[in-house]
């Protein structure tokens, strides 16, 4: 009971948190799919459109590896399996979800993972071996990425912040016992 009373931030109940998670995931997925469709229709592969000199450019590159071109094409099937696992875990964890922060974080993660999973399933060179469309280039020294990668990273940062603050999926805060055996909110 004390853990519930010590819940940090806003908590949601029942269908509301699932609706928020799925709404964010759907938005991220839709924006990712539309942006990749526009890039593949209007930018030639490996060409560059300079928006701000050599600082911000648009391009069309294919990535068989993980986020930010890590891993390489030989790992495509592994990353596909990992993405399926992440999506499955998030959907199962959503039953316990009562935290606004966790709903946002998992929505970003689910939308981003699904966006890249759609590419891996349906794009060339073949089913479950497809390459992800990356199109945002920030300087020539940083890997090319897409909106799904950005959502995954933002969700990951938010998850780390929530964990550091001791906020659980159910919206409660981590409690610990002090030297006298009394429970205190972990700050």
Q: Which residues are catalytic?
A: 134, 149
Helix/strand/coil (H, E, C) string of the chain?
Answer: CHHHHCCCCCECCCHHHHHHHHHHHHHHHHHHHHHHHHHHHHCCCCCEEEEECCCEEEEEEEECCCHHHCCCHHHHHHHHHHHHHHHHHHHHHHHHCCEHHHHHHHHHHHHHHHHHHHHHHHCCCCCCCCCEEEEEEECCCCCCECHHHHHHHHHHHHHHHHHHCCECCCCCECEEECCCCCEEECC
Here the tokens at position 70 are 């890590």
In this structure, is the dihedral angle defined by the CA atoms of residues 129, 125, 72 and 47, taken in order, positive or negative? negative
């Amino acid at each position: 009971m004390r853990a519930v009373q010590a819940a940090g931030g806003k908590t949601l109940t029942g269908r509301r948190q699932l609706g928020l998670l799925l709404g964010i995931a759907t938005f991220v997925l839709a924006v990712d799919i539309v942006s990749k469709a526009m890039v593949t229709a209007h930018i030639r592969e490996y060409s560059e459109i300079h928006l701000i000199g050599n600082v911000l450019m648009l391009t069309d590159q294919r990535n068989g590896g993980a986020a930010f071109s890590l891993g390489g094409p030989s790992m495509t099937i592994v990353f596909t399996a990992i993405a399926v696992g992440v999506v499955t875990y998030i959907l199962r964890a959503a039953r316990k979800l009562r935290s606004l922060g966790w709903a946002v974080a998992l929505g970003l993660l689910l939308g981003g993972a699904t966006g890249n999973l759609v590419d891996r399933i349906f794009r060339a060179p073949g089913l479950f071996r497809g390459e992800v469309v990356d199109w945002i280039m920030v300087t020539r020294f940083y890997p090319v990425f897409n909106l799904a990668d950005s959502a995954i990273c933002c969700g990951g940062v938010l998850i780390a912040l929530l964990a550091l603050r001791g906020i659980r999926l159910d919206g409660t805060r981590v409690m610990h016992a002090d030297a006298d055996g009394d429970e205190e909110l972990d700050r």
